[in-house]
A and B are shown apart, each in its own frame.
Chain A
Amino acid sequence: GESVGLHLPTLSVQEGDNSIINCAYSNSASDYFIWYKQESGKGPQFIIDIRSNMDKRQGQRVTVLLNKTVKHLSLQIAATQPGDSAVYFCAENNRDDKIIFGKGTRLHILP
């Protein structure tokens, strides 16, 4: 069946370094991908999205890369800050009215 998974459940990064969170997806029909950030005690929050006709999209301090050949998605966070500590989810939509979420990666910032 369809699945959206993450390579690492926990990622520890030094403050000020760049963070890279990876995600693998299995449904080649998916054409829209989203990254969410969930802070402790809060609901998931939209960070950035990308469509399948693109391979890179940049936001403020964040970049999403899409490699359709190997069905891989990544989120890069530049100059990681303490406020970036959270669980990050990738999600996919395959022209359906439902989004499929991955299990999440916890980003831990080291002082």
Chain B
Amino acid sequence: NAGVTQTPKFRVLKTGQSMTLLCAQDMNHEYMYWYRQDPGMGLRLIHYSVGEGTTAKGEVPDGYNVSRLKKQNFLLGLESAAPSQTSVYFCASSDTGGQIYGYTFGSGTRLTVV
């Protein structure tokens, strides 16, 4: 049972490049989330999904897009990367929307935009 798996673990992008971060969970969870973590800012919600085929905006959605075509996968896309998107990105999942045992997190993707 792998839990929540994020790929890649590290990535360096040039300004204006695009990329997709993949999150996969094997717990059959309905809810999935993408967060970014910056020093002194805690965890900020980018986008989330309450089930296959659904997506919703979080606190800081600008510059990102997401898709949930399959229940187990939640993709985060950066169409034109900017240095302000340098961050550590965490994916999380839950079968109850975080109302029992909170979320299960992945190990993160460290993204640097130069």
Contact = CB atoms under 8 A, between A and B. Distances in A.
Interface residues of A, number: 22
Q: Is the interface of A mostly helix, strand, loop or mixed?
A: loop
Contacts, number: 59
A44 B58 contact: no
A95 B106 CA distance: 24
Contact of B43 (A46, A89, A95, A97): A89
Interface stretch (A67-75, A78-86, A100-108): A100-108
A66 interface: no
A93 B40 contact: no
A98 B41 CA distance: 17
Interface of A: 32, 34, 36, 41-46, 49, 89, 91, 93, 95-99, 101-104
